[in-house]
Structure 1
């Protein structure tokens, strides 16, 4: 299908993302010094600007699963957070259909509450009705596999391993149809059985006309899940196209 016949869900138009990092100690961090900077508009001397994303442009369409690849620090997670509306764009623009959901952020999980209660809260936070939550609750718990080795769904989430928490977050987020779902490394958690289930769920979300962005260091997950890849390096797009072609270029780059 030609691009003109497809429906865009995310448009990045020459997007730049710059954030500020405080370095070392803070010799001028007194309340009086802070107030003076606010009034005069001056910057603290130990603040460094990081230009994380530099002039990125692309269009994502309904029904696409797009892998974001690149070496550490290339800007992948920063770009996802900007698409989700969690980071401001310093220059250019990012437009998105509906409210993009960044996995684990929209699910308002609380460590002191048991897993099954967190499923209910997470689903309600995503806009499901109480009736929908009641219907999907057990299915979400079963999908996550947190009860495979005991009744962990009745235990507080602070007792979970990081992998169990990530699997539960994915299971909650993937239980709802999203216009745009942003996944950062979640498919790398768990055993091979869970990865297969999660990859199949991503394909189902695409089939329901959603758009999925996946950041993963697992090249196999990208190959199995995404037909399109965007390769970011040092905050710029090095390649954007069919996964097989882009991954071939990226692998040659990382072998140098």
Structure 2
């Protein structure tokens, strides 16, 4: 799978060929992605238009039975992430960025290949644990407990989380259903960043928020890089990627197009996509 590291320049794939995976023997691997394929199986109706109720009726009557389709979202991806890395994952919509992060987090089973981690990956947000009908304050407690913090640790982290999220006055006691998307994203990031993660996976968390919050987020990620294993960041804002990450992986149609120094990879990506 791997060969000895010859140079630290970005590696580039051509056509369907993946970039060569290289090893830095001076660093400690924390995530190894080996020939990873992720395939979604989705269902589609047999054609025609109508309401959801009419579609269900056709299924019940065994008319136009749903067909199974496969979506090959990640295609033979291989790379090694090292302890202390902050890796930006870029690509156009549908390139497989979020799917890759979910696979590393263990939320999607590989069709082929595998993901190996030294430690527990954590997807940013503890979204499944947060409840829209509860206040931000109650969700802080719920989110921290869901991440494995004790009640004493949660109490000690509470004020830090509230300050970092920087919600409008009084909103910490309002239900999260009243929050804007930006407020919700800030609170989720603040909760997730309240503990040290072996591998932290952030999907678009920094896309929403003002310059002040993005600066705090960048500083927090730097802290996590020192204390944790590795950070993966998906964001459409390339400036955030360049400022935050020491390495960038460019995905194109589920394959690695380029992997290496942020400035060089981002320059090539911008030239190729015009973004």
* Pairwise same-fold verdict (TM > 0.5): yes
Contact 1:68 1:231 in 2 (8 A): yes
Q: 1:22 to 1:150 in 2, by over 3 A?
A: same
Deviation, structure 1 residue 255? 2.5
Q: Given the alignment, which residue of 197, 214, 223 partners 1:195?
A: 214
Contact 1:66 1:226 in 2 (8 A): yes
Q: 1:96 to 1:27 in 2, by over 3 A?
A: farther
1:222 aligns with 2:241: yes
Q: Given the alignment, which residue of 138, 144, 147 partners 1:123?
A: 144
- Residue 120 of structure 2 aligns to a residue whose secondary structure is coil
* Equivalences, count: 243
Deviation, structure 1 residue 188? 1.2
- Residue 19 of structure 1 aligns to a residue whose secondary structure is strand
Q: 1:173 to 1:107 in 2, by over 3 A?
A: farther
Deviations 1:142-182 (A, max 9, x none): 10011xx3210111111111111111000000111101000
Comparing both structures, which one devotes a greater share of its residues to helix?
1
Q: Which residue of 1 aligns with 2:231?
A: 212
Q: Which residue of 1 aligns with 2:14?
A: none
Q: 1:20 to 1:27 in 2, by over 3 A?
A: farther
1:136 aligns with 2:157: yes
Q: Given the alignment, which residue of 108, 112, 124 partners 2:133?
A: 112
Q: Which residue of 1 aligns with 2:271?
A: 252
1:157 aligns with 2:176: yes
Q: Which residue of 2 aligns with 1:234?
A: 253
Distance 1:98 1:153 in 2: 32
1:13 aligns with 2:34: yes
Distance 1:23 1:105 in 2: 31
Q: 1:69 to 1:169 in 2, by over 3 A?
A: same
Deviation, structure 1 residue 26? 6.3
Distance 1:217 1:192 in 2: 15
TM norm structure 2? 0.84
Q: 1:217 to 1:184 in 2, by over 3 A?
A: same
- Residue 206 of structure 2 aligns to a residue whose secondary structure is helix
- Residue 236 of structure 2 aligns to a residue whose secondary structure is coil
Contact 1:106 1:126 in 2 (8 A): no
- Residue 72 of structure 1 aligns to a residue whose secondary structure is coil
How large is the RMSD of aligned CA atoms in angstroms? Answer: 1.9
* Greater than 2 Å deviation, 4+ residue runs: 24-30
Which runs of 5 or more structure 2 residues have no equivalent in the other structure?
Answer: 1-7, 9-22, 46-54
TM norm structure 1? 0.90
